[in-house]
Amino acid sequence: MFDSISTKLNDIFFMLGKKGTLSEKDIDKVLREIRIALLEADVGFKVVKQIIENIREKCNSVELRTSVAPSQVILNVTSEVLTSILGSEVSELQLKSESIPVILIVGLNGSGKTTTTAKLAAHLKTNGQTPVLIAADIHRPAAVEQLNILGDSIEVAVYSPKISDSAPEVVTRGIEFATKRQATCILIDTAGRFQVDEDLMKELKQIYAKANPIETLLVLDAMAGQDSVNVAETFAKDIGLTGVVLTKIDGDARGGAALSVVYTTGVPLKFLGTGEKINDIEIFHPDRIASRILGMGDIAGLSEIAGKSFSHNQAKQLEKKIKRDEFDLNDLVAQMNQIKKMGSLTGLIEKIPGLSKKNIQLPNGEDGEKNLRKIEAIVSSMTLNERRKPGIIDGSRRRRIAKGSGTKPNDVNNLLNQFSQMKKMMKRMSKGDLKGLSMFR
């Protein structure tokens, strides 16, 4: 989702890094370019204005003009400001309650609300909870059926409505059902509309009164852009929200909604939907997303995914390889294959410093599988030494590899160039935080 804005900001900082010192004019130009990049990424005008003001204020408070690496300082400042706008800290689900904690899931049709409800149940179950799902969308039988199918797939009980039940009645009986099953938390999937209307809000208020939820989460489609802000403001005003789940971030959305929704509504982002599979959901970490927006990947998130895919020892070895600059093409293919078993390849790619779905041309679905097979074929046609040290691959070797893999020399060039860029970014991130960066030196 952050490919477009990440690429533009990377270009800005790369050009900035060529300058040894910065004048007031240079700073103005950089801020203007950042402003344009944010606006083009669909970040709201008021949010962009605040971001630029905050960056300028922080830049004025540090010794920018006398700094050995002024571009580094501006990068750090920008990261701090973006993290602050996104919420600064992780906002966890609140499950402490005298009765069974209820999580109310709301949103418009097509946002991924029902799937997200099941994903959250799977997430909670993985973390030791015993969730029960309530299908309170009485207006769309397909949603009830979908939730039952998803519930069966993760072995979580689902309460379904009777034909004559109203939505509030479904919730009341669903809570009784969950109590008998000794549930530790309840998730309620509610009806959506194609747009916010009076009937929707009236029904939600009735459900809210019956459920008394400890969490009310709004599911928003990242592809909706600035419309997401309007939807969030309406829900926050009419029923109150405790958090937002942003879905479809593996798509081609420009990414501005994430920045705009939090700043405009003051409601924290709690989860990101990263793909279609039941495990494709992750806790929202403001600092990690800021890092991804700036093209620096998400090493912590990558380690967490690796921990789920590999054994503890394998995950530690991967982390060591990245920090020692020993990550090679064999590791890249192995990781992609492991992550493919779990969920979204895009989710992996966006977490690797210097890599993106756009420039490695690896979208989800059949095209993604096809491109992965192409990468595997190219790497398999290399010698063991070439895989470990891609820098030795000259023109004749590239032609040989292309012929052996049934691809074109340009395909080999693209993979090697992208891997080289990724390695450089990993090296800059070797200490795992912004302070360890040595960019543009």
* Model confidence, pTM: 0.72
The two structure tokens encoding residue 350: 């966006």
3-state DSSP assignment of residue 353: coil
The two structure tokens encoding residue 224: 């909706």
Percent of the chain residues past pLDDT 70, beyond the cut = 79
Do 175 and 211 meet the contact criterion of CB atoms below 8 Å apart? yes
Rounded CA gap, 351 and 250, in Å?
Answer: 12
Q: Which of 40-54, 232-246, 338-352, 408-422 has the lowest mean pLDDT?
A: 338-352
Rounded CA gap, 244 and 106, in Å?
Answer: 10
User: What structural domains and CATH numbers belong to the chain?
Assistant: 3-86 (1.20.120.140), 102-286 (3.40.50.300), 296-436 (1.10.260.30)
Q: Say yes or no to pLDDT of 401 above 90.
A: yes
pLDDT band at 189 (very low <50, low <70, confident <90, very high): very high
Residue range 83-134, pLDDT digits in tens: 998 887 888 898 998 899 999 999 998 899 999 999 999 999 999 999 999 9
The two structure tokens encoding residue 195: 């747009």
Look at the chain and count its residues.
Answer: 441
Q: Say yes or no to pLDDT of 265 above 80.
A: yes
Measure the N-to-C terminal CA separation of the chain; round to a whole number of Å: 29
Mean per-residue pLDDT for 162-172?
Answer: 90
Residue range 219-251, pLDDT digits in tens: 998 888 778 888 999 999 999 999 999 998 876
Mean per-residue pLDDT for 279-301?
Answer: 78
Q: Residue 117's pLDDT is what? A: 97
The values of phi and psi at residue 216, to 5°, are -125, 110
The two structure tokens encoding residue 385: 């030494």
As a dihedral over the C-alpha atoms of residue 352, residue 354, residue 355, residue 359, rounded to 10 degrees, the angle is 170
Q: Residue with structure tokens 């549930």?
A: 183
Q: What is the DSSP string of 84-143?
A: HHHTSS--PPP---SS--EEEEEE-TTSSHHHHHHHHHHHHHHTT--EEEEE--TT-HHH
Q: Is the dihedral of CA 410, 412, 416, 418 positive or negative?
A: positive
The values of phi and psi at residue 104, to 5°, are -95, 125
3-state DSSP assignment of residue 202: helix
Do 325 and 427 meet the contact criterion of CB atoms below 8 Å apart? yes
Do 40 and 394 meet the contact criterion of CB atoms below 8 Å apart? no
Q: How many Cα atoms sit within 13 Å of 227 on the Cβ side?
A: 13
Nearest to 132 by CA among 94, 180, 99: 180
Question: According to the per-residue pLDDT averaged within each range, which of 171-180, 253-262, 297-306 is highest?
Answer: 171-180
CA distances from 183 to 8, 135, 187 (A): 48, 16, 10
